[in-house]
Amino acid sequence: MKLTYEDKLEIYQLRKQGMSWPQLGQTYDVNPRNLRYMVKLMDRYGVEIVKKSKNRYYSPELKQEIINQVLFEASKPYEKCYTDVTEFAIPASSQKLYLSPFLDAYNSEIIAYQLSTSPNLEQIKRMLTQAFPDDHYDDTILHSDQGWQY
């Protein structure tokens, strides 16, 4: 049996707390001599088991996505809107339909949607024209997946 990082950390801590070698060997299904050797090497070379910290650097796109995930609500209509293309398979035939809804985060209302037999840019343009008939989309944050249509 191969020991994971968490197992090694736990063995080291349990041994320092006074658990016997045979108990540790039985718990982890490993020969106690091997465990004893592992702990001896760790003590000899001053190796401390420290969990590696997570990489806290985020790209600007990922940072914006995290912010959008945290802030789902909007204080006024058309402040934040969400869209995506969803594929539906029709059971009676081999044909598929693609739904592109436009959701307002202010009241979770679907403002516009388009249904199409193929997911293409024209479907998205029609949906956006339906959602913004007067090209009035100043200060609107449109959040979508990173699909090729967007």
Mean pLDDT of 15-27: 83
Alpha carbons 9 and 42: distance in angstroms, whole number: 11
Of residues 89 and 50, more confidence is placed in: 89
Same domain, 26 and 80: no
Q: What is the mean pLDDT of the chain?
A: 81
Please indicate, yes or no, if residue 77 is contained in any of the structural domains. yes
- Give the burial class of 136: count Cβ atoms within 10 A of its Cβ; 0-12 exposed, 13-18 middle, 19 or more buried: exposed
Contact 128, 142 (CB under 8 A): no
pLDDT grade for 56, boundaries at 50, 70 and 90: low
pLDDT digits (tens, 9 = 90+) for 100-118: 999 998 888 999 999 999 8
Domains in the chain: how many in total? 2
The 10 Å Cβ neighbour count of residue 59 is 8
Please indicate, yes or no, if residue 51 is contained in any of the structural domains. no
Mean pLDDT of 7-25: 82
Q: 């050797």: which residue's tokens?
A: 37
Please indicate, yes or no, if residue 54 is contained in any of the structural domains. no
**Residue 51 predicted with pLDDT over 70:** no
Query: Distance of alpha carbon 72 from its chain centroid, rounded?
Result: 16
pLDDT digits (tens, 9 = 90+) for 60-89: 777 777 776 666 778 888 888 889 999 999
| pLDDT score, position 70 | 64
Please indicate, yes or no, if residue 85 is contained in any of the structural domains. yes
**Residue 148 predicted with pLDDT over 70:** no
Please indicate, yes or no, if residue 10 is contained in any of the structural domains. yes
Please indicate, yes or no, if residue 19 is contained in any of the structural domains. yes
Q: What is the CATH number of the domain that holds 85?
A: 3.30.420
Reduced to 3 states (helix: H, G, I; strand: E, B; else coil), residue 22 is helix
pLDDT grade for 57, boundaries at 50, 70 and 90: low
Please indicate, yes or no, if residue 97 is contained in any of the structural domains. yes
Alpha carbons 64 and 55: distance in angstroms, whole number: 17
Give the domain extent around 21. 5-44
Please indicate, yes or no, if residue 137 is contained in any of the structural domains. yes
pTM above 0.95, yes or no: no
| pLDDT score, position 101 | 94
- Supply 77's token pair: 């209509």
- Dihedral sign computed on CA atoms, order 128, 100, 113, 122: positive
